Structures are given as structure tokens and as C-alpha cells.
Structure 1
């Protein structure tokens, strides 16, 4: 087995809180458990410690329309010198912007493989930039194809991503590898039924009420508004339902206004952002995890809820339809309009969780399996890179031999 020195290039990492940052940290931990060394090249951040071992921070500025996110603006030569000194074997980019572009340049200069993970479906976020009037879907298609095709291989978190990239014209090796999660962080046997009941009481929810949990960043593309629109229809049939919304973000005020407009204030609680170590408590306290988001490449909150043993009622896609492949794990529905009926019907069925099915599913979504699949892809791409380099060397030798042949012929004649 090869022990690799790997450089992650990303514009998003802790202390920034995001699914991408969590995915990167999970992968870093798994790679290091297998004996690999991981170095993270990322943005400066006013909230980051001055020194953090294994993390190289490069000059950055807040990203357009996402002021809580940052993008690297310079540092190519600095990054190259460090990468060369570290003798990196492979670069793994996690962004198509500043740090990702730097990673490609460093990889090309060092002649080592550059792997990319396509984390974000940018077409779902165009409204943030001048209301979608400046950057169009066609621009996303062109830029994504250009960036990804100059990689050695691309990791796609879901079937949706690989389909989209194929439509964009991406032609390099692609592999579907869903991000795994650290199961023990959410399984949490230390969270007792008494603790869950205490959490429910603090939210004004008693034992006889049904707690629906929405947990995500409160932004437009998460489509939490569709849950609120569907709530009155649910309450007509299930007046004991309470919706708990955990998270914060730029769309919170709009959602709070919508709750008042729909006159469901008594049935909705906004908790705000909670510390990472408390997230599992809300999963365990909930009866069902609900989501109407259609912008996820994968969505870690789905697997986190599942690891906590909470059943899912979520808007489906290829990834989620495969993830929730047993009734005891939850159910999916097709459109926003189907949400209310999906909740009513699934709650009515009172399907118990099957521990054996859940245990099997937990390995499938685990960080351990995720790390093993990534390492396998790394090794395949390194072998392919070596083969391509050898073929190029052979081409150079043949070309030199062809150039020498005429002179050799003349010499023999003379």
C-alpha cells in the first residue's frame, strides 16, 4: 500500500461552518488513519488560529454575495514552494475558484495527479449574484467543463452530479463516492430517552405531539419555504404536529414572515444555529427529519439524521431514492406539492425502525467506507498518471529515433 502526501486545496474550511468543510475534515481524518499525510491549503480567516499544524492559509477576501465565505486571491508561488518542499504525491481540489485554480497550477508544475470533488451545483445558487442576471447556466456549464476536464479525475458525491457533468461535456474519469459521516457522532447511545424528552419539553413539545425537524442553513435554495407552505394542510389532519427549524442564515427573516402569513406561529419554533456537539440531540429528539431541498449534491444532514435513527420524509432524487430503500428508513416524494400528503401518510403508517436494516445502512454511509473508496480512486489515478507519463516518454524516444534515422541512412551510404 502506498503512503501518500496529499494536498487539499479549498476556499472553505473551519472555522467556516459548511457541509464542504465537514466533508473535507472527515476525509482528512480517514486518510490520516490509513497512514497518509494531509496538508490543507486554504483561505485566511479572521476567526482562525494564528497557527494550525498542517494548514497553510493563503491571502483571501470575502466572496461576492457570500460575505461569510472567502476566496483565495493570490499565493501561487508560495503554495508551489511549500508543496514542493512537502514533496506532495497528489493534489485534491475542493473548489473551482481561487484555491482550486492554484491547486491545478501547482499540480501541473509538479507533474502530479490533481483529483477534484464537485461539491456544489452552482446553477442552484445563481440568484445570489445580481439575481441571476450576470452569470447564466450556460456560463456555469462552460466554466465547470473547462475546470474539471483539466483534472486527472473527479469525485461526484451523487448520481445527480455525474449526470450533470456528463451533460456539461466532462470526459475525464469520474466516480460516484458519497461523503461518509462519523457515525458515532450521531448514533450517540449516551443521549437517553429522558434527555430527548427534556429537549422536546424545552421546545414546548410533549410526548403525544409529533416533532418534525428541519436542520440546515436557512437560505433560499434549501427550500424550507415549501415545508411551511405545506404545514397548514398537515395540521388539518395532524393538529398535534410541531415543526422545529434548526439553523441560521440570510433567509431566516423571510421564513419567519411566511410563518406569520400562514398563521402557524404556534406550530413552528426557530432554534437558530446550535453547536456541532448538540446537533445530534435534536436528531434524537425528533420523530421525523423533513426536507424539501432540491439543491443538494448529497446533503449530509440526511445521513446524520439516519445515523441517529430518525426516519426521513424528504423530497427525492436519484441519491435519496437509493439511500432510503426500505420503508423503515423513511420515504421520499417527488414535488413540493406532495410534501403534506407524504408526511400525513408516512406518520399514519407508524412503521418501526428495523435495527438490522439500519445497521447495514450505517456502514454504507460511514466515514470508513468513504475513506476507503477515496483511497482506491487515488491509487487508480496515480497508476494511470504513471502509465501516461511512461507513454509520453516512449513517444519522445521514438520521435528522437525517427529524427536520427535519416542521418544514420546517409552515414551508411557514405
Structure 2
């Protein structure tokens, strides 16, 4: 187990944030399906993106890796595979739920047998909404008491699909990528309120970019997808990731001076809402060159924040709330138990272990901020966002912060600890049995 011990320090400097892995998943999948060579620029090869890269290679894509001027960003030339030329029928999704959900319907265009495996707690995360789709189309599948590995074989057919997206929007995005490939037209009708609408908007934007037409029939969530469509090859430059930038923006709001570059101001990313939250609290968002930073000239105000549309922000918002004087409430927690950990529990444990005051009442977290934290040990449970939130919390702590399973940041931000030191963070790394 890799452990990082952090001394309390304010941070100062410039960070080029990693590229959006949400956009990366979508661009790589579209490139697989395109008839020709597509080029995707500024790709951060985090663990989740690598899972999708291995999956598109298993389905016949050829990938050329070109190192950019920055060692942590790559240009990928991807030769598509249309129709899919299967080279490996075992898809290891690692810990990437997006990879798992995006590729289940896609392999059902081949009528071949596949096995999906995963690591971490992903094998235990619910797939009930996906199983309902398989049942609608009489797809033969087998799992282990509802858990991975998942064995399946069948052929997806055009038609009307009723979908519950109240827990995740990944399933509808997966179907929007796959249904245009079918021989006949399809419809998607949502049975519950769409969660994380921004992610579906990102999918629709990517599909449009590569020549796929989708009709949105109603605001309530009804889509018409013509069949027999062909993905066109494309060039695409990934924008910076707001989920990762949120940690540096939070540090700024708590007294550090970090410029985050590579971000698109007008972005569809759900976690861009972090800028709106900071503005509501009274912080100033400053655009400087191709970067953003935050300045809090007056003490920030405590607010109530609905995190249902951006659940990945909860750990860093809890840290920010602990830095304020007063009570902050985070509502809309229903989906957090389905993340890399039960993120309500791990967030509460993180704040409590650092000396903060946090309680859960029904569907909300209540954080009583005192302006600082004491320090202590953050048990991440292997959750990358808890690890990074714990690191940023060190900037308002009196004593050192110890972060366990610190290499879990590789899931989304493999250069995090290097960047943390680049802006003045002082850490000591060591390994323990665990």
C-alpha cells in the first residue's frame, strides 16, 4: 500500500489539468466505430481511459500513440473497425464503470460470446438497468449472483427501449452510441427522471461531431435513433477535466494561488457547476490567459448545494465546507453509494478523521465548518477522489495529513502527486503492508 504524508502548506503555481476522461471515453468509442482514421489530441492515459483503449483494441481498433510536448498528454491516431473485427472476447474494464456500460450493448452487434470482468468494487456495483435492456431483447446472459463476471451472447435489435436512468446516465449514452449501427430504427423512452443530463448532452455532442443523427423528441427524455448510420472519422482535441480541476479551484478558495489551465469556460461537463457554486459562495472566478483561478476576497458564505447532477464533487465540497465558518448542506446523495466506494461514508470518515464536524441526515450531509481542520489519516478505501480531497484538505490543516492507498489517483489523474509537489506541496511517500 502506497502512503503519502503531507505537511500543511498553501499552494502556489500553475497546473495544466488532465483532459476530461468523460470526453475521452466518448471520443475513443466513436473512433472505434468510424470508417477510417480519427485523431484524438491531448489524451491523459489514466487507468479508466486505458480500460477503454484496451476495449476498442479488443474490438479491432488500431491505435498509434504519439507523445506530445507534455509527457502526460498523448495524441492517438485510431483506425476504426467497422464492422467490428473482434480480437479478444474478454473485456477487462478494470475499475471503469463507463467502459463496462458503454461496451455491453456494443458487443451485442456482433452475435458473439463475450465475458466482461472488472476490478476493485466495480464487479459488485449494480447493473440492473442494463439487465432490463438485455431482457427486453431476449439476450442470453449469466452473472455471479448479480455480480461480474458477466457472460453474454445475442444480437441487439432495433425497437423501443424503456430505460430507468435515475441512478446513472451511462446506460442511455451507451445505447445512443450503439443503436445507430442497427439495421432498423429505434426509440428510447425514459421511465424516470434523467440523472446527470450533462453527460447525455456530451454524448449527443460527440455523436453529432462524427456524423450521427439523433432526434430528441421531448424534454422528458424520448429519443429517435435512425438505423443504418455510419460514423465518420474525425479530429478531436480533448478539453481539460473540471472534476480534476475542482481540487485546485477549491485550494484557491481556501487561500492558495493555483492557476488551472486547459479548461474550456463554456463546457458541457457536469462538474463545471463547481464554478457556479464558488460564485454563490462569494468567490471571484478569474480568467487569466488560458487558465482559471479563484479568489476569495471576503469570507465565503455557507450555502445548500444539490449534488445530484455532480456527485463526484462531494468530497471536495465537504473539504471546502469545513474551511468555512458556519453550516453547509449537501443534498441529493442518492447515487453516491454506487461510486468507487460508498462515497457518503468515505467522505464522512475523511472529514471526521481530520477533525471536522460532519453528520448525515437522510439525503443530506451537514458540515459545520470552523475555518480549519486538525489533520490526521485519510483512509481512502481506494477512492481516487477521496485521496485528492484529503490532499487539498491538508492546506487548511494544523498537523500532517496521511493518505492511504495514495496511488488510487491513477484512476483519473496519474500525475496528481507530481502536480501537487509542483505547486509547493510537501509530501513523503512510503509503503506499508495493507
- TM-score above 0.5: no
Relative to its length, the structure with more strand (as a share) is 2
The answer to which structure, 1 or 2, has the higher relative contact order (CA under 8 A, 6+ apart) is 2
TM-score, structure 1 normalization: 0.33
TM-score, structure 2 normalization: 0.32
